[in-house]
Structure formats: structure tokens, C-alpha cells
Amino acid sequence: MIYLDNAATSFPKPPQVIRAMNDFLERAGGNPGRSGHRLSVEAGRIVYDAREAIAELFGARDPLRVIFTLNATHALNLALRGILRAGDRVITTGIEHNAVMRPLRALEREGVRVAVVPCARDGSLDLSALRDALRPGARLVVVNHASNVVGTILPIAEIARRARAAGAWVLVDAAQTAGVVPMDIEAMEIDLLAFTGHKGLYGPPGTGGLVLGERVDAAMIEPLMRGGTGSRSEFEEQPDDLPDKFECGTPNGVGIAGLGAGVRFVLERGIETIRAHEVALTRALIEGLSEIPGVTVYGTRDAELQTATVSFTVANRRVSEIGLRLDEEFGVLCRVGLHCAPAAHRTIGTFPEGTVRFAASVFTTLDEIRAALDAVRRIVQV
């Protein structure tokens, strides 16, 4: 079996992630942050350690500004709903996932003004078009760091600089880049960073978070939910302290234990090393696919400018047929269709049919890429 669906969720997970989750359930089964006994405190420590590892990974100085959520979508909803009010203007791009577009379209019906800066067919963003869009002012700019369809990496630091100059906050959807592309939220001037735990951070599903940059005043963000936090229990109002303001109800302790171990795996392996490996795989994938007659590869077609996510189509073939044959005949697992990102597929010109998407991880080998390319070659022939 060759797993090339890492943009949906990474597989396999490092053994230390599984060990950490097992250990949490076996040894530290208390409710983190609720009681003062040793099992609760131990569970709390594990959650805190994960917070610290994430802060280190993203260059955040204060681990208490890492808010745990269920996934990147939850983090994006928290930020978008928490910040935007009727009359506010928000700017996004033509290459976003529905995790951004659906909350924005709902907010639009409530009076938020949404501006979409179009992207080029390869998924890249024209910075002068962004500058024009920023001219009337904006409360927020929300962009994905890399497309989940074609992997194109957006120039976040440049986007953030322009947004800040126009007085807007910058929210980055790092679902496809956390753990994969080096990131420093202070150096890149990112105000809010939404990430998922189960892709490039190698944690389990059900984990993710929102990191608040130093410039962000948490008082300006409304929580998505309110409830028990284990703190200020005498009051019936939600506390203002971080991270409790945005984290309530029993957290996914076992998941966060796995996430912490995944992030430590990434830190130990080194993002630069991971990136170099994935660039080599991506280059082989792009070159190999481009040589097959009838295959169209989308995106920048430059491994240095994208993540290890490559989208392609085959002339006169349905993507669903290719996906099924790859699985059944060759054991190559990938994702076909629209990838929850109709806007991105409109931008690259593949709406509504979609594409076949191959996405590698740190565990993918060059041999597996070669075997997958062989499979595509044989499917195209027959």
C-alpha cells in the first residue's frame, strides 16, 4: 500500500505519538485543569507540555497564547466569528478552503463585507491586487499558507506586512503547512495562526489550535463557546484569562498528548530536514507526472514554491475512475474531486470535475513515488 493522502490526514503516525496516547489513557487519566490530585495534575502537565512545544514550533513566546481546538476549521471559526462584526471588511484570496469560505459566506449574510482577491491559475497571489483590495481598509486578512489543492505557498510575510500597514489583522490558515514549512509568527508578523494537529504535526484527528500573536488583544475576540474552565469557578461569566477564555469543557487530553509527541517528533527531525525531503519527493512527482502523455499537472510546477501536494488530471478520464483504479489495482491511496475547496478549483480551472491529488509526508519514500508514477502511467495506457 502506498499512502498519498497526507494532505487529508497523515499516515502513518510516528510510534511515539501512539505511545503518548496510550500512556495518557493508561497512566494519566485525570481531567486536566479540573482537580488538584496527581492524575489531574499529570494530565494538565501533558497538555501544558504540548502547548509549549507548539509555541516553540511557531516561534510564539507565550505558550498560554496557544488555544487548543478540535481542528483547523474550529480555530478558523473561532477567529472569524470572534473578530468580525457587521460592517467590518475582510479580505481573502481565490485559493481558500471551505473552512474559510463557508464561515465567511455566513458572516456576509450577517453584514460583514467580504472581498476575494483572485489568484493566478497556478494558485499564486498577485500582491498588487492585494494592495488594491486593502486600500479601502479592512479589519482582517485571512489567507491559507499553502493551497490544499495545488500546494502553492503564499508569501505570508509580504501579505502580513501589507495588511498591517493598512491596519488589518492577519489570520493564517496553516492547515497544510504546520510542521512542513518553517514558520515564525513574530518574524512573519502573523497575528493569528490556525493549525491542525493531524497532518504535518503527525498528531491524531480531533486536535488543532489557534495561536495568538503578541499584537493581538484577546479582549477584541469573542469566544465561540462558553463553559467550565476549572478557573474562576465562583463566577457565571466566562473568564478573560488565556487560554481559558477560548477553551472550555473537558479538553481532548488524549489527543493533545499525541499532538505534543507529534510536534516533538517534528522539532527533533527538524523542519528544514522534513522540508528538504518533501521538496525532493515533490520534484520527482511533478517531473514524473509531466512526462506522462495526457497528464496535466496544476500549480506552480516548482517544488520549491509548494508543499508536497500535487494535483493532476488525465485527458478524457474521470478523476473518480483514476482514484478507484489507483486504489484497487495498485494500492495507491489518494484523494480525488474538489477537496472541499471549490474556490481553489475555480481558480486553477478544474471546477466542477476536480483533480487527482497526491500528497506525500516525511514517511513517503522516493521508491513509493516511483511506484505511484508507474501506476498512473499504466492506468493512462489502458
Partner 1 sequence: MTCGVVLFHTNSAALRAEKVLQRAGLVVKLIPTPREFSSDCGIALRFEWQDAARVQQLLDAARVERASIEPMGG
CA-to-CA separations, 59 to 56, 185, 212, 269, in angstroms, rounded: 5, 6, 11, 17
Question: Taking CB under 8 A as the rule, does residue 177 contact partner 1?
Answer: no
d(CA 317, CA 259): 39
Does 179 bind partner 1 (CB under 8 A)? Our answer is no
52 binds partner 1 (CB under 8 A): yes
217 binds partner 1 (CB under 8 A): no
Residue with cell 474552565: 229
- Three-state DSSP at 371 gives helix
How many C-beta neighbours within 10 Å does residue 121 have?
Answer: 12
Residue 261 CB, shortest distance to partner 1, in Å, is 17
x/- binding map, residues 244-263, to partner 1, per CB under 8 A?
x-------------------
| Residue of 18, 39, 41, 271 interacting with partner 1 (CB under 8 A) | 41
242 binds partner 1 (CB under 8 A): yes
3-class DSSP assignment, residue 336: strand
Cell numbers of 241, please?
484569562
35 binds partner 1 (CB under 8 A): yes
Active site residue 340: yes
Contacts of 146 (CB under 8 A, 6+ apart): 152, 153, 154, 176, 177, 180, 181, 306, 307, 309
Distance from the Cα of residue 89 to its chain's centroid: 24
Q: How far is the CB of 216 from partner 1 (least distance, A)?
A: 16
Q: Which of 26, 217, 234, 367 binds partner 1 (CB under 8 A)?
A: 234
Residue 39 binds to partner 1 (criterion: CB under 8 A): no
CA distance 224 to 77: 8
φ and ψ of 226, to 5 deg: -130, 150
Which triple of cell numbers denotes residue 366? 522516493
d(CA 310, CA 249): 39
Min dist CB 229 to partner 1, Å, is: 7
Identity of the residue, 228 or 270, whose beta carbon is nearer to partner 1 in the bound complex: 228
Nearest approach, Cβ of 5 to partner 1 (angstroms)? 34
Residue 288 in the binding site for partner 1 (CB under 8 A): no
Selected binder of partner 1 within 108, 126, 214, 241 (CB under 8 A): 241
Pick between residue 254 and residue 344 the one whose CB is nearest to partner 1.
254
ω into residue 243 within 30 of 0, thus cis? yes
Q: In the bound complex, what is the minimum distance in angstroms from residue 250's beta carbon to partner 1?
A: 12
User: To which residue does cell 477567529 refer?
Assistant: 79
Under the binding rule (CB under 8 A), the answer on residue 233 touching partner 1 is yes
Question: Under 8 Å CB-to-CB from 294, ≥6 apart: which residues?
Answer: 314, 315, 316, 317, 380
Q: What is the DSSP letter of 97?
A: -
CA 213 from centre of chain: 17
Choice between 16 and 31, CB closer to partner 1: 31
Is there binding between residue 14 and partner 1 (CB under 8 A)? no
Find the part of the chain contacting partner 1 (CB under 8 A) among 28-36, 86-94, 267-275, 358-366: 28-36
Query: Which residue out of 119, 248, 334, 340 is catalytically annotated?
Result: 340
Q: Which residues are catalytic?
A: 340
> Which residues of this protein are in contact with partner 1, per CB under 8 A?
32-37, 40-41, 44-45, 47-48, 51-52, 62-64, 229-234, 239, 241-244
